[in-house]
Amino acid sequence: MRLFPKLSLAFSGLLIGAIVCLSGSFYWAEQRSIRAEANAEQQAILQNLVHIAQESYLTNDDLLLVKYTHWLSKWNPEMISARVVDTQGQVIAHSEPDRIGKPMGLDDPQTARAEVLVLSAPVRMGAHGIANASVTFSQRSLEETIHRRLAQLQRRLIEVSSVSLIVGLIVCFSLALSWTRPIGLLAKMAERIGQGRWDLDLGAVELRHDELGFLSRCFHKMADQLRELDEMKEDFVSAVTHELRSPLGAIESYLNLIGEELHQGISLPDWENYLHRLRLNTQRLTRFVNDLLDVAALTRGAITLERRPADVPALVRDVLDLFAVKLREKHLKYEVQVSPLMPPALCDAERVHQVIVNLVTNAIKFTPEKGHILIQVDSLLTKKLLQVSVTDTGIGISTEDQAKIFNKFQQVRSARQTVKGPKGTGLGLVISRALIEMHGGTLSVRSQPGKGSTFYFTLPLAEAGVASQASKVANKT
């Protein structure tokens, strides 16, 4: 059975149960109160008769009592008779005037006790009883009056319950619909996601303020993340394909070339060129495989650092030497600034070298020709830290993308399209940040699209370090 009929049935059942229980208890309570009210009314009639009898005795006005008693049975249809009998058993007032002055005699209500209700009370003046007042009601008439009032109550209850039931059922159905419709919509959207379609339209459901609204917003967010993952997967596949295919293709072509030219004789400069190309492409493959292995090792926690006091400015210069040709080819100016009395950092020099290589590679890759790269090494002595920052005048990164580039295989699409040659795999920053964090430092980025980026990281200073010479080197290509 689907959720909507299930919920509707459950709600309707609960509603009907609640209405029946409420009406039943209300009817029971009202019935008791109607009976109590009737009893109180009969007692009040008797007490009034007693008061009138006392009044008539005090004022010596028998007529008042006679008239009141006579009219009493006319005012109360359920009453059979009302009378006041003096202490000698003489009737002094009666609803049937011809009985006045006669002894109580056969009028004794006990003769028909089964069908009548007799209420009596003494009439006193101070401590002396002067007469006895009694009223006789027909039990059947009393019951009929009560039944009439109960029947009225039943009618009203049925009317109110029916209206409540109709309104309640409408509310129940709308409630069930308002819960099941969004769930149905979410199920449909889940089906779409399963088919790899990301265009979700959850309409007004997302605007709801309840848990279903929250769920649909989470759902939308999840779909966005899945889409990003899907794009990431595509990017990764294309990156892997590109990073494997291009160097392998290049290696194969050079090997074929060497094979073809071997018998005709290859000149020394050609040999040098071929071997240089083969070396470059093999290095590219090695770098890619190493990146993959590093990510796997970092995920497993299988990388250990060999920390020793290290001269970070020297590492920076070493990296720049490595890239000297590339920097010259792209006509990039570069500058290294080191603050005076730089103490050594406590780090694994090889791993920090790897991080600087990654940051400088990116700076070169994403900075257009004739751009500028600045590397600063500062000591934050109060915090016992050393900070390295790599600033470029490249394409920059939007704030939204800045949060993503530290995720595995994430590359800014527009940036990827601007790059000529090897496009990278989106693993460098993940590895770099993980390595720096293993040292107890942080790696962050500040960037403005179109203006450039600064990647900066910190390392702990070696406590008993040897301060390197203050230096400021400015190299220009």
Instruction: Kindly list the residues in this chain that would bind ligand ADP in the complex (CB under 6 A).
Output: 358, 362-363, 366, 392, 394-395, 397, 405, 411-412, 415-416, 424-430, 453
Classify residue 342 by its DSSP letter: B
Identity of residue 284: R
CB-wise, 69 or 447, nearer to ligand ADP?
Answer: 447
Query: Among 288, 285, 258, 287, which residue's Cα sits nearest to residue 273?
Result: 258
Per the DSSP assignment, residues forming a β-bridge with 474 are: 335
Least distance CB 295 / ligand ADP (angstroms): 10
CB-wise, 162 or 414, nearer to ligand ADP?
Answer: 414
CB-wise, 220 or 242, nearer to ligand ADP?
Answer: 242
Least distance CB 455 / ligand ADP (angstroms): 6
Least distance CB 454 / ligand ADP (angstroms): 9
CB-wise, 311 or 392, nearer to ligand ADP?
Answer: 392
Residue 275 CB neighbours (<10 A): 12
CB-wise, 200 or 415, nearer to ligand ADP?
Answer: 415
Q: Residue with CB nearest ligand ADP?
A: 424
Least distance CB 409 / ligand ADP (angstroms): 8
> What is the spatial distance between Cα 18 and Cα 372, in angstroms, rounded to a whole number?
79
Contact status, residue 111 vs residue 118, Cβ threshold 8 Å: no
CB-wise, 294 or 348, nearer to ligand ADP?
Answer: 294
CB-wise, 132 or 362, nearer to ligand ADP?
Answer: 362
Cα angle 214-218-221, degrees, rounded to a multiple of 5: 140
Least distance CB 433 / ligand ADP (angstroms): 9
Match 């009056």 to its residue by tokens: 145
CB-wise, 430 or 462, nearer to ligand ADP?
Answer: 430
Least distance CB 357 / ligand ADP (angstroms): 10
Per the DSSP assignment, residues forming a β-bridge with 337 are: 376, 472
| Residues whose CB is less than 8 angstroms from the CB of residue 269 and which lie 6 or more positions away in sequence, other chains included | none
Least distance CB 250 / ligand ADP (angstroms): 18
Least distance CB 233 / ligand ADP (angstroms): 15
Q: Would you list the DSSP string of 47-108? A: HHHHHHHHHHHHHT-HHHHHHHHHHHHHH-TTEEEEEEEETTSBEEEESSGGGTTSBSGGG-
- Please state the φ and ψ torsions of residue 370, each to the nearest 5 degrees: 65, 20
C-alpha dihedral, 432 to 437 to 441 to 442, nearest 10°: 60
> What is the spatial distance between Cα 393 and Cα 73, in angstroms, rounded to a whole number?
113
> What is the spatial distance between Cα 214 and Cα 208, in angstroms, rounded to a whole number?
8
> Token pair of 423, please?
């496009």
> What is the spatial distance between Cα 83 and Cα 52, in angstroms, rounded to a whole number?
12
CB-wise, 18 or 229, nearer to ligand ADP?
Answer: 229
Least distance CB 212 / ligand ADP (angstroms): 38
Mapped onto helix, strand or coil, the DSSP state of residue 272 is helix
Contact status, residue 92 vs residue 104, Cβ threshold 8 Å: no
CB-wise, 197 or 451, nearer to ligand ADP?
Answer: 451
Least distance CB 254 / ligand ADP (angstroms): 24
Q: How far is CA 247 from CA 291, 325, 328, in A?
A: 16, 20, 23
